[in-house]
C-alpha cells in the first residue's frame, strides 16, 4: 500500500515504464480518499507522460469544478479537459477501483486517447483525435506514470489518499473478476495476474482481492480492443469441475 500525504512530491513518485516500445498502456489500482481531503486544492491523482516532454496526462480535481477531470497539460497551458458526472465527494471515505487506459502518440500519428473507469463506470474519455498533445511532442520515449502526484496541502498520517494493488501493462487485454454476469454491469472488479497467455489458454494467479469466501463472481477475459468475454461463474474459495470455454470473438494483439 502506498500513502500520498505530503505536498507536491510528484518527482519522487514517478515510475519509469520499461521497455518503452509500446504506445498504449493500462493501469489499475484501488484508491482511498480520506474524508478530509480538500477538493478546493489542485489535486492530481494520476499522471502519465514522458520525461523528455513537457506534456503529460493528468487525472485530477481542482477548485474550478467539483468533478473528476482528465487534463492534458503542457508548457503553455492545458487542453482537452474532459469532465465527468463523478464528483470527487462521492469517492471520499471509501476504496474505489480505478482503471486507466491511455495511448501516447508517436510523431506523425494520431493514436492518442485516454479513458478512466471508476468501479466499472466510464467517467472520463478523451477520444483519438490527434490533437491531445502539442505538435512535435513524442511521448513514447521514456514514458512514466506517477500516482499520488500533486496536491496543494500536506495531510497528516492517516489522511491524504492511499493506493493499493497497482497493476500496469502494455495492453488493455486482461482478466478480471466481476460481481455480475455482464461485464458492463460489474461494479466490483478485481484484476487477475496472468502467468501465461496464448491463443489457446490463459493461466492466472487468482487474486481474490476484496471478494469474500463464498461470494459469487464471474471471470472475464478482455481483449486488446476492450471487448469482454461472457462471464464464467465461480464461487470464491470454491472449486470448479469444468474448465472455462475459450472466449469467443476475442482478438489479442501483442
Identify whether 122 is part of a domain: yes
For residue 242, tell me if it sits in a domain.
no
List of residues 6+ apart from 245 with CB closer than 8 A:
232
CATH of the domain at 40: 2.60.120.200
Give the mean pLDDT per block of 10 residues along the chain (254 residues). Answer: 50 62 84 82 81 77 76 62 75 94 64 86 77 56 77 64 90 96 97 92 94 96 94 85 58 48
Edge to edge, what strands does the sheet with 161-169 contain? 2-4, 161-169, 24-33, 95-103, 113-118, 121-126
All residues at 6 or more sequence positions from 43 whose CB lies less than 8 Å from its CB, including other chains: 37, 60, 61, 62, 88, 150, 151, 152
Q: Are residues 75 and 119 in the same domain?
A: yes
Q: Each residue of 98-121: pLDDT tens digit?
A: 999 987 665 455 567 789 999 999
Q: Do 88 and 69 meet the contact criterion of CB atoms below 8 Å apart?
A: no
Residue 241 in any domain: the answer is no
Residue after which a domain boundary falls, among 135, 169, 203: 169
C-alpha closest to that of 98 among 116, 111, 80, 115: 116
pLDDT score at 190: 98
Q: Based on the domain organization, do 138 and 202 belong to the same domain?
A: no
- Residues 143 and 186 placed together within one structural domain of the fold: no
Task: Decide which of 113, 137, 169 is a domain's last residue.
Answer: 169
φ, ψ for residue 16 (rounded to 5)?
Answer: -70, 145
| Domain annotation covers residue 131 | yes
The total domain count for the chain is 2
| Domain annotation covers residue 180 | yes
pLDDT at residue 233, rounded to an integer: 95
Range of the domain at 192: 174-235
Cell of 130: 490527434
Same domain assignment for residues 164 and 139: yes
Structure confidence by residue, pLDDT tens digits, 238-247: 765 566 665 5
Amino acid at each position: 500500500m502506498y500513502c500520498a500525504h505530503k505536498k507536491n512530491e510528484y518527482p519522487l513518485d514517478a515510475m519509469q515504464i520499461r521497455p518503452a516500445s509500446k504506445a498504449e498502456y493500462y493501469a489499475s489500482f484501488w484508491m482511498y480518499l480520506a474524508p478530509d481531503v480538500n477538493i478546493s486544492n489542485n489535486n492530481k491523482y494520476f499522471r502519465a507522460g514522458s520525461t523528455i516532454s513537457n506534456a503529460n496526462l493528468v487525472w485530477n480535481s481542482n477548485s474550478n469544478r467539483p468533478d473528476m477531470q482528465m487534463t492534458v497539460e503542457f508548457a503553455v497551458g492545458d487542453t482537452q479537459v474532459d469532465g465527468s458526472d463523478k464528483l470527487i465527494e462521492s469517492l471520499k471515505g471509501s476504496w474505489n477501483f480505478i482503471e486507466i487506459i491511455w495511448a501516447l502518440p508517436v510523431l506523425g500519428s494520431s493514436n492518442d486517447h485516454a479513458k478512466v473507469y471508476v468501479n466499472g463506470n466510464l467517467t472520463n474519455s478523451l477520444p483519438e483525435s490527434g490533437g491531445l498533445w502539442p505538435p512535435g511532442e513524442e511521448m513514447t520515449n521514456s514514458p512514466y506514470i506517477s500516482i499520488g502526484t500533486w496536491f496543494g496541502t500536506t495531510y497528516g498520517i492517516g489522511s491524504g489518499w492511499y493506493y493499493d494493488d497497482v497493476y500496469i501493462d502494455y495492453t488493455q487485454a486482461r482478466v478480471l473478476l466481476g460481481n455480475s454476469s455482464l461485464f458492463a454491469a460489474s461494479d466490483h472488479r478485481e484484476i487477475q495476474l496472468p502467468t501465461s497467455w496464448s491463443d489457446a489458454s490463459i493461466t492466472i494467479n487468482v487474486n481474490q482481492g476484496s471478494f469474500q469466501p463464498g461470494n459469487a463472481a464471474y471471470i472475464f477475459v478482455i481483449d486488446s480492443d476492450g471487448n469482454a468475454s461472457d462471464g464464467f461463474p465461480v464461487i470464491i474459495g470454491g472449486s470448479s469441475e469444468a474448465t472455462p470455454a475459450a472466449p469467443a470473438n476475442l482478438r489479442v494483439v501483442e
